[in-house]
A and B are shown apart, each in its own frame.
Chain A
Amino acid sequence: MEASSVSRLNAVIHERARLGIMSVLAARPSLTFGELKALLDMTDGNLSVHLRILEQAGYVSIEKKFVERKPQTSVKISKKGRLAFEHYVQVLEEIVRKK
């Protein structure tokens, strides 16, 4: 495997849990915290930690609101996040092609 290509992989997205979050958000641009948890089989704490890192990087936005008097957290992928994810996938494909 070519080391230079691997080093071009975005470190924020490369972490396994965050790659999972970005993958599902790339397919469905807006998901609730509960949907993400169920799709990725993650705990509340673990998901919160990784979402915070993605939010700090500007890849997702997190909105808290009340639906039928219950709190609901929704997560959206940002334009910056989508571009970063697409670039990440391009680099991965490049690595596979060069193997």
Chain B
Amino acid sequence: MTKFEGDRDASEDLERIRALMERATEFSNLSGWSIVISGLLAAAGAGECWRRNVDFDLPFHSRVLALVWGSVFALAAIQGLGFSIVNARQKGEPVWSHLTRQVVVAMLPALFCGAALTGYAFQTGQLDLLPPCWMLAYGSSLMGLGLFAGRRFRVAALAFLVLGAASLFLWKEHGLVTMLASFGGLHLVLGAWVLWKPRA
């Protein structure tokens, strides 16, 4: 006959089931270091633009901006992917799991919007739209990731969205500072948070 041993009871079991089900659907292959590196790459990108005296409010800077920020985003994506693959392998998990596919599907539409708006901004020479558009698209994408990766990613997503919207209406002309504060600063804070508490 079944019975509850020791202190165990039905409500404790229900709570444990709920916690385990939540944990099972949590995407935990993200590395705090990779987020910190993304922040440093964005800071390096902003630094390189300052060094070359290039900013988002001047249309004839489009080639340099495309080169610098294209490199920053590509390097950030490659190293982030690399860290996630290493984490998954260390835990004996498949790299392309059902959960990973769900995370990618949640993130892709917003990233696609960001890419489309980037193309439009370069085509029309409205480069000052780029930082707010990138922040809004990335923030939306991060919110999708946050559904699987925990509250702190949703907090960071909200910060990107608020800063992106504010930047669009209030300080479009300060693109580099915005990029440094958001893709640089917010990533450093989020990365430090993940390193400090790996499982939120």
Contact = CB atoms under 8 A, between A and B. Distances in A.
Interface of A: 1, 6-11, 14, 16, 19-20, 23-35, 37-40, 67, 72, 89, 92-93, 95-96, 99
B151 interface: no
A72 B93 CA distance: 9
B94 A32 contact: yes
A28 B99 contact: yes
17 contacts: A1-B4, A6-B10, A8-B2, A14-B2, A19-B16, A23-B24, A25-B24, A26-B21, A28-B24, A28-B99, A29-B98, A30-B98, A34-B93, A39-B23, A72-B94, A89-B14, A96-B14
Interface of B: 1-4, 8-11, 13-14, 16-17, 20-25, 91-94, 97-99
Contacts of A6: 2-4, 10
Contacts of B2: 6-11, 14
A35 B17 contact: no
Interface residues of A: mostly helix, strand, loop or mixed?
Answer: helix
